[in-house]
Structure 1
Amino acid sequence: MLTPDNPYLTLAADELKQPLHAKVRQILRERILNGFEHGQRFHSERELIEKLAVSQPTIRRALNDLVAEGYLLPEPRRGFFVQRKTETRHVGFILPELSRNSLGIEYTVCREQGCLLDPHYLHRNDRLNDLIRSIKYPPSQERLLIAGLTVDLTLALSSHLRMEGYQHIVLGPKIPGLACGTIMPDYETEVDQVIDHLTGLGHERILFMVNEPEILLITSLRSQLVHRKIEERGLRHARVVSCQTQNWDSSYDAAYRKADEIFGPGSDRREWPTAVAPLSGVGAWAVLRYAMRHGIRVPEDISLLSFDAIENADILPVPLTEMTFSPQERIEKAITLLWGPDADKVDVRMTPKLVVRESTAAPRG
């Protein structure tokens, strides 16, 4: 029954920047997901009008939207009936096209959990509407993951998906205004582990290289944390350099050029950093390639550490020290949470692990 103290049937969602019918639709959708079984008769228009204190057109529009989304089945003169049938579950994954070849684990986990993975790739000139049009299934069948987008696009996309009734989770940090849950490595712990490792070896002149576009969600957070930790720890000789990489530009080329600025002809070897930590794995690989081509020994001349796990990092000419976490555990958690009642509220932190290999050592000289 509808009751005044029912947590699913209040308009306490006023903080959502949505039209009234969209707020009502969200409340009713949550009620369907948490309080009804398949085939059960849903509340009548009159009951909803009385308990929610909104107009008939608002209630009718919200109910019609839920019919279109597949949550309700209308029957003439009998009302609306809840649809909770077992259907093919689609996991939409929204990410840049640059990640096109990196979803092997995600495909495997989705298949094991009885889901179909549907990548929605963001191309260079795409806009929000292009992404929205790529989503093929109603909210009752498709739930979405978001990764690798800019801060502004992530916020706009999350707000739109929430309004349209799509459960979704961002694989990245929780930021103000985000209308969904998040799953991410604990980036503060990550930065602490990197600094602890390098300072523990005796490094003072540590160079943190921001080689990814700084408008990206994860890059902006990592950069902020590194700046803060350097100040908090009083690391006077550590510094952060930006490669000024623009969105869609090559972060590998940006890191390679920056390495040439720092270590190239005309540089004073006495001023070189003794350790370099690019904020992405691609950047670490670029610096390693530059060092090998120019006779700079790793780790004898500089230590090198990757903030991201790089495939086959352990069999590179100099095996790389790197931060890792389990992408399989992340996607397993995400799928479980996407079909749970709290996908819009979760904030899951995964503890990253430092894997020490031959690319880091105590500074010499």
Structure 2
Amino acid sequence: MKLSGLQVVDFSQFMPGPTLTSVLADHGARVIKVEPPAGDPTRHDPESPEDFYAACNRGKQSLCLDLKRPEGLQVALSLAARADVLVESFRPGVAERLGLGYEALRALNPRLVYCSLSAFGQTGPLRELAGHDSVVQALGGTLPRERDGTPVTGGAPVSALLGSLTGLAAVLMALLRVRDSGIGDYLDIAMHDCLLNARPYAIRHALTSNGASHRDELAMLSAYRCADGEWLCLGGREPRFCQQLLTPLGRADLIPAAQGPGGQAQQELRDFLASTFASDTRQHWLAWLEARQVSAAPVLDLPHALRHPQSEARQMLTEDAQGALHYAGALKFRNEPARPDLRSARLGEHNDVLLAELGFDEHARAALYRSGAVVGTN
């Protein structure tokens, strides 16, 4: 595998950091997840603990340490001294207080790529603000809104995933630098930064429009309810899409409006499209739109999206030995595809194996368990 031989120590929790390291694991890296005595909080998620933890932590080894105990810290330092990559998601300053900050670890391991992944980064007035995706989206100007302006939460964790993928790219770039120079790096990845960076096209508009950071709703990029109660969404406002939709419907006069500014200026167009699509079923309209090469798609929930022929053709699901389905991953390599280990480890499952590799014999391991520095069954 392309990342075989790469050793990653993962102190991160919840979604962003673990998602980053799970991609590395899918492609051959050895990822050691260091968990606190109670485990990653996602092990205890009230809605779906097994699903949440397993989705972000498959294929990793679990070591359960109490980092506040000196003996636990020494084990962590021994791991970091041998690692290629370290990922952490502590609040800013916590790693330093524990004795696991970048400067301390760089002295042990100059080649270490150290990635701090947090909501708002290591600097700025919000550096210590705890926050998950909804808070970051709210501050980042991307929380969806109803037409009346009411914010909507509960959608895809966009900032968390952008943080994961940006962090992944940064880690891989830093590893290339290590290959050439022998010197690691410190990566300060903020979900909030990643969210702002994801919309470069909107920044100039936002800075020149009295602070407004959103465009008015565009009729050719909107969703419409059909006669059977199902929804479809239009997906293009280029001239050809406008012509191919409106000319056959006898409303070529609306093409200029379709290509113009959104909001109230497109109200007549929006009303026309709403009444048109409400006149027949979604299946009818999708076939009609496809025949005219107009960009459109059904609005699906996640179960139907996963079972859609496009998702099946892209092999977005994979099956384990027990027949359970798992997300396969989005990275498609022709010559060396991912070979994910779909199993997630029990808390502290690999304590003894990892401690033995670090040079702790049976008596030393027993002492670590007795002290509470290592948690689990010995």
What is the TM-score when the length of structure 1 is the normalising length?
0.27
Greater fraction of residues in strand: 1
What is the TM-score when the length of structure 2 is the normalising length?
0.27
Q: Which has the higher contact order (CA 8 A, sep 6+)?
A: 2
